[in-house]
Amino acid sequence: MVDARSAAERESPPEPEHLVLAGEFPEVTEQEWVALVDGVLRKARRIPDDAEPGAGVAKLVRRNADGVGIRPLYTAAPDTPVGVPGGAPFTRGATAAGPVPDGWDVRQRVTSPDQVLPELENGASSVWIPAGADPVPFLDGVFLDLATVVLDTGGADTGAAAAFLDHAESRGVDPATLQGTLGLDPIGRRARTGDGADPASVAEIARRVAGDHPHVRTVVVDALPVHTAGGSDGQELGFALASGVAYLRALTDAGLDLPAAAGCLEFRFAATAEQFPTIAKLRAARRLWARVTEACGQALPQAQHAVTSPTMYTRRDPWVNLLRGTVAGFAAGTGGADAVTVAPFDAALGAPAPFSRRIARNTQSLLVMEAHTARVVDPAGGSWFVETLTDELAQAAWAFFQEIEAAGGAVAALDAGLVAEKLAAVRAGREKDVATRKAPITGVSEFPDLHEKPVQRDPLPATDGGGLPVWRPAGAYEGWRDRADAAGTRPTAFLATLGSLAAYSARAAFARNLLAAGGIDAVEAGPTETAQDVATAFGEAGTPVAVLCSTDALYGERAAETVAALRDAGASTILLAGRADIEGLDGQLYAGGDALATIEQVHAALGGAR
């Protein structure tokens, strides 16, 4: 018989019965890895030669807004019971359904009745009706026993909830099959607007729903106001816990037992482009709620609705929002959310266009149907990083929850200003990170396109204010871009480039990028050999602002005389890209510096001061 295998196949060793990855390499211990890290950082002068073992690894730990350390290496998860999917503490999921071909509830916002059927016919499984709207016109043609209807009442009982229930009854829909969320949340309304905060106001309609409508939830415990005010993940979770407890007290006082009261609640959290923190947040939320309900008598699962962060989206270069929404939607599904809303990429600009709504909907369809994200139960489970982050985030959230409870509960903490004060402290840190570009915003603070064609959308109705502030990280940069665009003539600075192209190109690119984040264009001198070459080019540029760009060596040789020459040529503001001790400078641009302060300084020098 002729052997059909190739010579290489005949000579290769037989395949092992069990595949052992990296089995031929010696095992490396954590101590050996730590020693190598320490050695590299000692060589780089990041730690002293006599530093204690592990000092290098400690140098690489960064802390998030909750003070949780994000380490470079995780070797074991905390010894915390995580249970199994569908079992307390529900960290790994509220159900043990296994593979779910249909995925999570794809929940999309609509702004007018004509959008409802196209959403449901093309991938959405539920629709989210806007605040203040009469729900009945939105329900024409909707099979209420198949599609979930979610009301956004703005937190107050405006009559929309009763109208929805009455409409379903008039159409003969079996209460046992009706699916929906009535959206009542007086505590969330207090957080957003400063008005209305009596949790007991939801009791009457909750009793009506709990008895006959097993698939309708009355209350939304909305943590988005904490997130949009710049709060941390732990603060978002802690506030949600305190609000949920307030509703449990009100509903059980009204006569509902614990399972019925908890079944009236749906929790709403923000999903961001920070993938792993979002996954850990949703897992921690279920664990925390199970602990709360266990203390009340029975550990119960939590119904979750994850919404892509409304403050994460940018008005400038909005196409990048497609990527932000995709990552956030993936994290929400991977984290085990029961329902996910991916906002259209143009949501920050106004009323989304049909194309953007379609892409938002199809993003989820792709994640569920093509990427099969929903076919795995708790796909992040077992990851040492995710399990540790879940545990540490839960602890941070529990501490904030206890602080709110010690102040008298969610309503009292809002009224006393405790919540606003704690959020302001975290927001200040976030603002600094954005200003220094430690937290970069692609297309806005990093890699902006001064020549992008603006995307125009019809404005949305104004929302109520008066409660917690709404902070958009991109807002400050976009404000300067708007001012620059409105100036008629593009504000321009001069790049005083010293030496050859190879010498100045890196810092010139850095300066150009930073200035563009504030809507400021830049012209450069090009290769120069003398200070007079730079001054001559500056005189032709027609701007009073100059930024020196070159190497540290050339700064030492030519910067001082170039500064003097630029002053003589009429420069009112002279900055330097990098760090150097040069007499006569008005400021310096460098990685980690306050980019927003520099942008404001340049605008002021160009005649655009606030």
CATH number, domain at 347?
Answer: 3.20.20.240
Residue that terminates a domain, selected from 356, 390, 406 = 406
Residue that terminates a domain, selected from 406, 425, 459 = 406
The region of weakest confidence among 158-167, 351-360, 472-481, 570-579 is: 158-167
Question: What is the distance between the alpha carbons of residues 269 and 309, in angstroms, rounded to a whole number?
Answer: 9
- The CA-atom distances, in angstroms, between 33 and each of 21, 73, 441 are 19, 9, 33
**Long-range contacts of residues 37-40, Cβ cutoff 8 Å, at least 24 apart:** 37/72
Question: What is the distance between the alpha carbons of residues 452 and 467, in angstroms, rounded to a whole number?
Answer: 35
Question: Which residue in this structure is represented by tokens 């009323």?
Answer: 351
Same domain, 161 and 309: yes
Same domain, 400 and 524: no
Q: How confident is the model at residue 155 (pLDDT cuts 50, 70, 90)?
A: confident
Question: What is the distance between the alpha carbons of residues 50 and 92, in angstroms, rounded to a whole number?
Answer: 44
Residue 5 has pLDDT above 70, yes or no: no
What is the pLDDT at residue 196? 74
Backbone angles phi, psi at 546, to 5 degrees: -125, 145
Could you give the percent of the chain with pLDDT greater than 90? 81
Which residues, other chains included, contact 390 with Cβ-Cβ below 8 Å and sequence gap of 6+? 82, 91, 280, 283, 284, 287
* Mean pLDDT of the residues in the chain: 92
Nearest 10 degrees: CA dihedral of 251, 253, 258, 263?
-10
Same domain, 400 and 549: no
Tell which residue, 34, 40, 78, 36, has the closest CA to residue 58: 34
Mean pLDDT of 346-370: 95
Tell which residue, 610, 533, 600, 537, has the closest CA to residue 573: 600
What is the pLDDT at residue 390? 96
The region of weakest confidence among 194-198, 356-360, 546-550 is: 194-198
The answer to whether 283 touches 299, Cβ cutoff 8 Å, is: no
The region of weakest confidence among 9-18, 164-173, 279-288, 384-393 is: 9-18
Q: Is residue 67 part of a domain?
A: no
What is the pLDDT at residue 608? 58
Same domain, 364 and 499: no
Q: How confident is the model at residue 553 (pLDDT cuts 50, 70, 90)?
A: very high
Instruction: Give me the domain span that covers residue 541.
Output: 483-605
What is the pLDDT at residue 150? 96
Tell which residue, 275, 597, 593, has the closest CA to residue 437: 593
Mean pLDDT of 171-184: 94
Q: Is residue 417 part of a domain?
A: no
Q: Is residue 212 part of a domain?
A: yes
Same domain, 373 and 278: yes
β-sheet with 521-524: strand ranges across: 521-524, 492-497, 545-549, 573-577, 587-589
Same domain, 384 and 511: no
Q: Are strands 69-70 and 62-63 parallel, antiparallel or unpaired?
A: antiparallel
Same domain, 206 and 336: yes
Across the strands, what pairs with 307? Answer: 270, 341
Residue that terminates a domain, selected from 386, 406, 426 = 406
Can you give the CATH number for the domain in which 555 is found? 3.40.50.280
Q: Is residue 50 part of a domain?
A: no
Mean pLDDT of 457-479: 90
Mean pLDDT of 136-145: 93
Same domain, 402 and 512: no
Q: Is residue 185 part of a domain?
A: yes
| pTM for the model | 0.92
Mean pLDDT of 534-557: 96
Mean pLDDT of 170-198: 92
Q: What is the pLDDT of residues 32-70, one digit of tens each?
A: 999 999 999 999 888 998 989 999 999 999 999 999 999
Q: Is residue 147 part of a domain?
A: yes
- The CA-atom distances, in angstroms, between 28 and each of 32, 43, 385 are 6, 22, 19
Same domain, 397 and 518: no
Mean pLDDT of 405-429: 97
Q: Is residue 380 part of a domain?
A: yes
Q: How confident is the model at residue 12 (pLDDT cuts 50, 70, 90)?
A: low
Question: What is the distance between the alpha carbons of residues 424 and 421, in angstroms, rounded to a whole number?
Answer: 5
Across the strands, what pairs with 497? Answer: 549
Could you give the percent of the chain with pLDDT greater than 70? 96
What is the pLDDT at residue 609? 40
Alpha helix segments (H runs only) across 297-353:
320-334
Mean pLDDT of 117-132: 92
Mean pLDDT of 146-160: 86
Mean pLDDT of 114-130: 94
Same domain, 381 and 498: no
DSSP E strand stretches across 199-273: 216-222, 265-271
The answer to whether 545 touches 493, Cβ cutoff 8 Å, is: yes
The region of weakest confidence among 131-140, 246-255, 281-290, 408-417 is: 131-140
Residue 488 has pLDDT above 90, yes or no: no
Residue 3 has pLDDT above 70, yes or no: no
Same domain, 234 and 346: yes
What is the pLDDT at residue 24? 76
What total of structural domains would you count in the chain? 2
Q: How confident is the model at residue 99 (pLDDT cuts 50, 70, 90)?
A: very low
Q: How confident is the model at residue 13 (pLDDT cuts 50, 70, 90)?
A: low
Q: Is residue 85 part of a domain?
A: no
Q: How confident is the model at residue 9 (pLDDT cuts 50, 70, 90)?
A: low
Same domain, 380 and 495: no
Mean pLDDT of 24-28: 81
The region of weakest confidence among 369-383, 423-437, 567-581 is: 369-383
